[in-house]
Structures are given as structure tokens and as C-alpha cells.
Structure 1
Amino acid sequence: MQLDKTQIAIRERGLLELFDLSLLVIKRYMGRIVITTAAMAIPFTLINIAILSNLRPDLPTEVTSAQYGMLMVILIFLEAPLATSLVTLMLGDVMFHDEPSWRRMLSAPFSLIPRMFWLVALLRGVVPGMGMVFLCTLDDGEAWGFLLFLLVAYAMVLRGVRPFLGEIILLERNPFYANDANTMTVGRRSAALHNPNFGDMVIRAMASTFSVPLACAICINIWALRGYLFGQWAWDWVMLDLLLPTSLWMVAAYMAVTRFLSYLDLRIRREGWEVELVVRAEANRWKGATV
């Protein structure tokens, strides 16, 4: 591994460049991104179908289909940062290696599971959201809709101002807590990276909202293509359980790549990461030469 010879050029980029670069990265690593996304997306989709099972007997009536589809969208929105964690690990591995390795990529994540579960699955509303969605499907579940709305709003704000928590956990691998006040824990690292760049985080969050019309466009095109080819225009279980989640996970994978590149860009802009990599690479060479 040579820190100063990365697969993606280390330099500052604008937002539009990052979105464009994301497409190039997806093109180059299409197979690996599809595999890592599917490995998490398929189990989550099956769980979502089970959560929404109370609504299935009434499909495909218009009201129930709309409720089913909306709750599926909310579930995938909440789950996306956790479900795309393997994509982040894969990109972190291919960044510094000419030949990506599944074994190397998966060598450390098991020790990171408790941190991801507590900080992302619980505190960022994934597990509570899944529970609230299930309660919304019950006969008297309307009252939970408002709480679910508040949870989604909370998740949106938290992702907007601190979007790179997953990258910090998975790539920097700081400890969850430490008795030493000088030790860089996940919380301290997140505050150090995000707090001084609050305005930048808000702008990036506003720019990322383009994923909403992108998801709508993909979903509508899939629905129209299915209708024209097979004459199936109803929002039945095939559309709601298969095609709708597929279109949403495609956008989630793209945004995961963009988020990873934005994380790198922020470190370059604010921390001079490209200089750090060169210095560390030279230090490794000197260390190897003196051994």
C-alpha cells in the first residue's frame, strides 16, 4: 500500500465535480458496488416486507398501496447509511490498493459492529424508525404517524450537520470511548470534523436533496417501462416489494459513493490530507530503508 499513490486523485473538488466523479467511480467498480449494496439491501428489504406485512392483505387498493409505498420509502431512507456501510468499506480499501481484496476489506468490521449499532442503528433512528413503521401499520396506528414524521425530520437534520459519522467509524476506526481526555474518540473526531464546517455541511445537505427527484425519476421510469412492455400498470407487490426498493437502493448506493468522496474532499480542504499522505508515505519509505 502506497499512501501517495491513490486510485482517486487527491485534490480539492467542487460539488458538481464530486457528483460527476461518483459516476466514474461507480463505472469502474460497478460489480463490487452492486455486490456490497445487495449484500445489505436484500436483507433489509426482506425485513421491510415483514414489517409492512399487515398492509399486504389490502393490496393493491390505491390507499393501501400509497401507504405501503410511502412507508417503504421511509424505511429505506432511514436504513440507507447503515445498509451502505459495506460500500464505504469497499471504497476505503480500493482507494489505496491496485488490487482490491474482499478478505482485507472484511478483516476489521466485526469489531466495529457495536459502534455502528449504537451510533447509527439506534441514535440515528434506524431501529426506532422500523419499530414506529410497524406500529403505523396496525389498525390504530395513525397516532404513531406524527412521531414517525418527527423521527424522520430528526434523522434528516442529524445527517445534514454530521453526515460523515459512518466514514469516521468505518475508516478512521477511533475508539468508542476513552478515559484519557486526549484520546480521539468517535464523538470527539466527529465534533472536530463537522463543527468547524457547519455552513459547508448545510450546503452539501441542500445539494444532496437532488437525490429525491433522482429516485422519483428512476422509479417512474421503471414503472412506465413495466407498463409499456407488460401492460402492468398497477402498484402491486412486484412494484412495491421489488422494483420500488431496487430504484431506491440504486440511489442510496450512488449517494454513498458521493458521501465517501465528499468526506475525502472535506479532509483535503480543512486538514490538508493530501500533504499528510505524502509525509506518511515518505516516513514509511524511510522506515523501510533503515530496517
Structure 2
Amino acid sequence: MQLDQTHVAVRVRTLSEIGDLALVLLHRYPTTLLVGFTLGALPWIVADGLLLYWIPITEAQFGLDDSEAFTELCRYAAWMALLVFLQTPAAGVITTIYLGEAVFEHKPTWRSAYQVARKQFWRWFYCLGVRRLAIPAMLLVAVRMFEPFHSGFDVAAPIAIFFAALLIRAGRPFLPEMILLERCPLRSKDPQEITLRRRARALHRPVGNDVGSRWLTISGTLVVIFAGLFYSLVWARGVTTGYWNFGLFTWLVLYPLALWTVGGLSVIVRMLAYLDTRIRLEGWDVELAVRAEAIRQFGAESEPTGRTSAAEPTSTGDNRLGETLVAGAGGTR
């Protein structure tokens, strides 16, 4: 493995270049969304359907055009969007691991990515599913199943959860990459070991303003992409079927499809932003070049035994994948 021969040119990029590279990655690895993200999102999609589909189905029995139906559909749309927003980091676990392998591996496999995700299941499920409020929000929705609209639960609660999630993510925007690719332990008795808390502090604090401004720009762009995609799907359905109203098919299929598609794109963009942050902050491109030259000159034995990078392999059994993930991410350009 040549650490300096990656499928992505390891260099500092502007935000527009990151967006362009995300599209290049989708072209180079089209199964990233079609297979990987769908595989990771499927359990969440099913759970969301069980929790929320009863709202439009119930309202359809009495018609979707009156004011009461409008209120319930707004309730459905808000909770669905919130749940997808909260669940996307956990749903993108397999995709994140796959792209990490794709930096150096010419033919990464979904099987290997799935096996890594399964081995680390409890770590990422707790951090991305529980602590980032996806599971608590789902439990709240479950408690309110088949109950009428209530402003406290269906207006104030989603808004409060959304802003709480924003604050949590603002502190550790690259948490999925640190868990899955760098494999930082949650806790350690060794004071010298780089735990998740220490790694988050070292990576996020020095570039907090830059990462925050980029996140706001990316979020606004993704909202625009979602609106365009959703109405494009509605338009395509209207052209092919001649039915232009927002019926059950639109609410049960097209709306979640647009949300999850944009969610999958956000996973790729976040990973590329993580790469760029490491290059800007840690000179990761220089580190790769030096380590690659050391391996060519002196062999694998020249690799340092200590953890010179938080993304070092954590076990000899996972050495190949650990070397692959030393950078954190990658693609084709």
C-alpha cells in the first residue's frame, strides 16, 4: 500500500471544490448511495414508517384538503424531517467506512465495511444514535402515536430537539469519522492515549469558526437541493401519471426519498470536509508523504510503534484497514 498514492489528491480545498469533489465521488462510486447508504438507512426508514405513516394514512380517509388535514400533514413533515436529520450520521456509518477504504483500496467491498460497522456497533450506536438524540426523539414520537395534534409535543418539542441537536453537533461535527476511522476510544485508563474527548478538542477547537461557517453554508445548500429534488420528483410523477395533487404516494414515498437522498449526500460532504480540516490543521498530506517514503526506503518495520496519529490501527488484526483509515477518507480526484 502506497500511502501517498490515493484516489483523491490530498491538498487543501475550498468549499466549492469540496462540493464538486462530492459529485465526482458519486460518479466514481455510484453504489455509495444506492447500496451503502441505503443499507445503513433501511432500518431507520422502516422505523420511521412505523412511527409516522399512520398520520397521512389516517387523514387520507377523510381527505387531505381540509385545514385539519393540513395541520396533521405539517406535523408529519416536521417530525419526518427531524428524524432523518438526527438519524443520518448513524445511517451513514457503512458509507463512511467504505469511503475510508476507497482512499487506498482499488476495489473496496461492502462486506468489509459492514463487518467493521458490526464490530463497532455499540460504540457508534451509543454516540450517534443515543447521545445525538435520534433514539430519544423516536421514543417521544412513539409515545404520541395515534394521538391528536398537540402544540406542546408537535411544535415546541421538535424545535427544542432540533436546536439541542445543533448545539451537540457544533461541538463535535466530525464525530462519526473519529469513531469509525480514527477509532478513538470513549474512555481509557492510559493518560497518554487519545480518547474521543481529547481528539475532539484537538481537532475542532482550533478551526471552530471555519468549520461552523462551512457547516451553515453546506446546510443551506442542502436545503435548496432537497427542495429542488422533492419538487422534481413531484413534477416527474405528475408528468407520467397526470396526477398533480400531494397524495399518499407523495407523502409516503417521494418526501422521505428526497430527505434520505440529501442525507446521503451530506455524509459524503461531511467526510470530505473532515479530510480538508485534517490537512489544514495537521498537515496530513505531508505526514502521508513522509510515511510512504519511509516505508519504501526501510520497509513496514520503519512505521512508528507509537500513536503518531489518532487514526492509527488499534489492533494488529485490523492492520490493513487501520493503515487504510489513517487518513480518514477519500475518493477519486
Q: Shorter-chain-normalised TM-score: which range?
A: over 0.9
- Separation in structure 2 between the aligned mates of residue 110 and residue 31 of structure 1, nearest angstrom: 20
For residue 26 of structure 1, what is the amino acid of its counterpart?
A: L
The residue type equivalent to 2:80 in the other structure is M
Gaps of 5+ in 2: 303-333
Residue 243 in structure 1 maps to residue 231 in structure 2:
no
Paired residue for 1:52? Answer: 52
Does the alignment pair 1:231 with 2:242?
yes
CA apart distance, 1:48: 0.5
Name the TM-score, length of structure 1 as normaliser: 0.93
Residue 318 (structure 2) aligns with: none
Structure 2 distance, partners of 1:289, 1:121, is 38
Tell me how far apart the structure 1 counterparts of residues 176 and 300 of structure 2 sit (CA, whole Å).
36
Compared CA separation, residues 274 and 54, structure 1 to 2 (3 A): same
* Runs of 4+ residues over 4 Å off in structure 1: none
Distance 2:2 2:122 in 1: 30
Does structure 1 residue 139 correspond to structure 2 residue 148?
yes
**Alpha-carbon shift at residue 126 of structure 1 (Å):** 0.6
Which position in structure 2 is the counterpart of 1:184?
194
Which residue of 1 is the match for residue 286 of structure 2? 275
Identical counterparts, % of pairs: 32
Flag structure 1 segments of 5+ consecutive residues without an equivalent: none
Distance 2:6 2:295 in 1: 15
Alignment of 1:21-170 (within 5 A): 21-55=21-55, 56-59=57-60, 60=64, 61-137=69-145, 138-139=147-148, 141-145=150-154, 146-170=156-180
Any conservation in 2 of the 1:133–1:148 contact (CA below 8 Å)? Answer: no
**Distance in 1 separating the partners of 2:295 and 2:247:** 58
2:17 is equivalent to residue 17 of structure 1 = yes
Q: Decide whether aligned partners of structure 1 residues 226 and 192 sit closer, same or farther in structure 2, where only a CA change above 3 A counts.
A: same
Between the aligned partners of 1:290 and 1:42, the Cα distance in structure 2 is: 43
Residue type matched to 1:257 in 2? I
Q: Distance in 2 between matches of 1:170 and 1:16?
A: 26
Q: Is the 8 A contact 1:11 1:274 kept in 2?
A: yes
What is the deviation of 1:57? Answer: 1.4
Contact 1:93 1:104 in 2 (8 A): no
Matched residue SS, 2:251: helix
Aligned to 2:264: 253
Q: Helix, strand or coil for the counterpart of 1:109?
A: helix
Distance 1:212 1:107, change over 3 A: same
Alignment CA distance shift 1:100-1:74 (3 Å):
same
With 186-195 and 61-70 compared, the bigger mean Cα shift is at 61-70
Rounded to whole Å, the distance in 2 between the matches of 1:65 and 1:235 is 10
1:257 and 1:281 mapped to 2: Cα distance?
Answer: 26
| Whole-Å separation in 2 of the counterparts to 1:106 and 1:39 | 9
Contact 1:135–1:141 under 8 Å retained in 2 = no
Q: Could you tell me how far apart the structure 1 residues matched to 2:100 and 2:30 are?
A: 15
Distance verdict in 2 for CA 1:205–1:290, change over 3 Å: closer
Q: Which amino acid aligns with 2:240?
A: L
- Bigger proportion of residues as helix: 1
CA contact (8 A) 1:33 1:253 kept: yes
In 1, Cα distance between the equivalents of 2:34 and 2:245? Answer: 28
Answer yes or no: is 1:212 the counterpart of 2:261: no
| Cα distance in 1, alignment partners of residues 188 and 298 from structure 2 | 30
Q: How many residues get paired?
A: 291
Deviation, structure 1 residue 141: 4.4
What letter corresponds to residue 65 of structure 1 in structure 2? L
CA distance in 2: counterparts of 1:119 and 1:265, whole angstroms: 23
Cα distance in 1 for residues equivalent to 2:110 and 2:41: 18
Work out the CA distance in 2 between the residues paired with 1:123 and 1:213: 28
Alignment partner of 1:196 is 2:197: no
Between 31-40 and 118-127, the greater mean CA deviation after superposition: 31-40
